[in-house]
Amino acid sequence: MQLPNKIKNYSNSVCEQIRWKKAHEVIGEEIENHIIDQKDGFIKKGLDEETSIDKAILEMGDPITVGAQLDRTHRPKAQWSMILLTLLMLGMGLVIKLLFTNNLNTPRVIPYSIISAVIGIGFMLAAYFIDFTILVKHHKKIFIALTIIEIMLLMFSPKVNGCKIYVNYILLLFPTAYAGIIYGVRNKGYGGIIQCYLFFVIPLLIGIAAPAGSGNYFYGIICFILLIIAISKNWFNIKTKTGLLIAFTPVIVFIIYFIALTMRRVYFELDGYMNVIVRNIISHAQFIGGVDVSTYGKDIAPFLDTNFLLTHLIGRIGWISFVVMMIVIAIFIAYGFYLCQKQKSILGKLVSTSVMACFTLQVVCFTANNLGFPIFVMLPGLPLISYGNIALIINMSLIGIMLSVFKSGDAVRDKLSSNKFRSSKFMEIIDGKLVIDIGVK
């Protein structure tokens, strides 16, 4: 229905006073709706349409004053604490690399880490300032573009320990893209869930073909978490219990497979070369103070200062280093999830949860590996801290997207009008009036 110009002009005048442009749409719509309700109220009392509109606008009060008052409330939330925690972890990583990297084993770690940290900050800032709702506007294009990159990497990526590592890294981006896919199938019922599964399977198959190692499991776990969130919020407009049953059936199969695989891996890796060193260091470590390096092979075990950074530090400095790092990471994770659950829009919730879940899974698996429980051999690393240039840039980009959600999530609403509540009928009777919808907004 076309909105009268007077109403539109009033809401525009209010919005002009609000400096945060992202909030304009939500506020403008609420004010316009109010004036329409008020106008309809006056019409019911016997006034004509034009007088009712004028009177309804007058009832609203001065648009400049109203706008100025709303401006005080509506500001983007920068979430400085999360930004500072991110930079703290990045800084911690650089200092640790600078002090404890074995330059003889890995001479390029420090210069490469500095370059990737700078690039990572650039990517984080770019993602922070880009409107995250592009994940919805171009959800299929983004998903397809990532799939094409994965297929290319499947062909050309080098193999490390039998895994195509670059395929593994890109898989970390897929859950966030998948949030856009779930968002795009609102109210599409069981068909929507099937569509989600079809999209889900594509990267999974590429991951299996690679093989991609841990990335595949991270992707699977996070996508199911997102799907369950969406179903529990009635996103597909189906019975929640049935929806959860549909979503959980493959989850249970996946969990059984995952446990079986993990047990098999842990069984084989438990007595593996690296794990024996790891367990040796852990068993000799003190709370404060280093152990004699000769107890674990003169510091020369491969990847000890990169893939086993936590073990390395526990050995060199003591458990205190582990405790300090875990406290910082735990605060980041706890506060991050707290902000995720506070997101009002499903989009904000799905996107931010995908990033936090990805971060947390990386931390949990890396920590388990470093404490002598080798769940996965090929891991992206301890996010932002351990050595891994591409993983660092990817994680920084994801955190940038999440910070963008926290910053402007309040101004994002799940669109009801365009899908569910926008009438699909060309012609219908509303309040005794014949309404013809030609589909023009």
Partner 1 sequence: MAIDKSLISGSTTMLILTLLDGKDMYGYQMIEELSVQSNDAFLLKAGTLYPLLHALEQQEMVTSYDDNADSTRVRKYYSLTKKGKRLLGDKKSEWRAYTKAVNHVLEGGACFATT
Q: Rule CB under 8 A: which residues touch partner 1?
A: 1, 26-27, 29-31, 33-34, 36-38, 41, 59-62, 65-66, 69-70, 72-74, 344, 413-414, 416-417, 420-423, 425, 428, 430-431, 435, 437
301 token code pair: 């075990």
In 3D, which of 301, 322, 300 has the Cα closest to residue 310? 322
Cβ closest to partner 1, residue 81 vs residue 103: 81
Nearer to partner 1, 51 or 249 (CB): 51
Nearer to partner 1, 287 or 338 (CB): 338
130 or 427, CB closer to partner 1? 427
Peptide bond preceding 203: is omega within 30 degrees of 0, i.e. cis?
no
Full DSSP string of 101-158: --TTT-TTHHHHHHHHHHHHHHHHHHHHHS-TTHHHHTHHHHHHHHHHHHHHHHHHPP
Q: How far is the CB of 292 from partner 1 (least distance, A)?
A: 54
Residue 440: is it exposed, middle or buried by C-beta count within 10 angstroms (0-12/13-18/19+)? exposed
Count Cα atoms within 13 angstroms, Cβ side, for 54.
5
185 neighbors 139 (Cβ within 8 angstroms): no
Least distance (Å) from partner 1 to the CB of residue 336? 19
Closest-CA residue to 373 (of 272, 286, 296): 272
What is the closest distance, in whole angstroms, from the C-beta atom of residue 403 to partner 1 in the complex? Answer: 19
Q: How far is the CB of 249 from partner 1 (least distance, A)?
A: 30
- Return the DSSP state at 285: -
The count of other CB atoms within 10 Å of the CB of residue 141 is 12
Q: Cβ 24 to partner 1, closest distance in Å?
A: 13
Nearer to partner 1, 42 or 376 (CB): 42
Q: Which is nearer to partner 1, 16 or 437 (CB)?
A: 437
Write down the least CB distance from residue 177 to partner 1, Å: 25
Nearest approach, Cβ of residue 344 and partner 1 (Å): 7
> What angle do helix axes 80-100 and 389-408 make, rounded to 10 degrees?
170
Cβ distance to partner 1 smaller for residue 31 or 117: 31
Q: DSSP assignment, residue 290?
A: P
> Do residues 281 and 315 lie in contact, with contact meaning Cβ atoms separated by under 8 Å?
yes
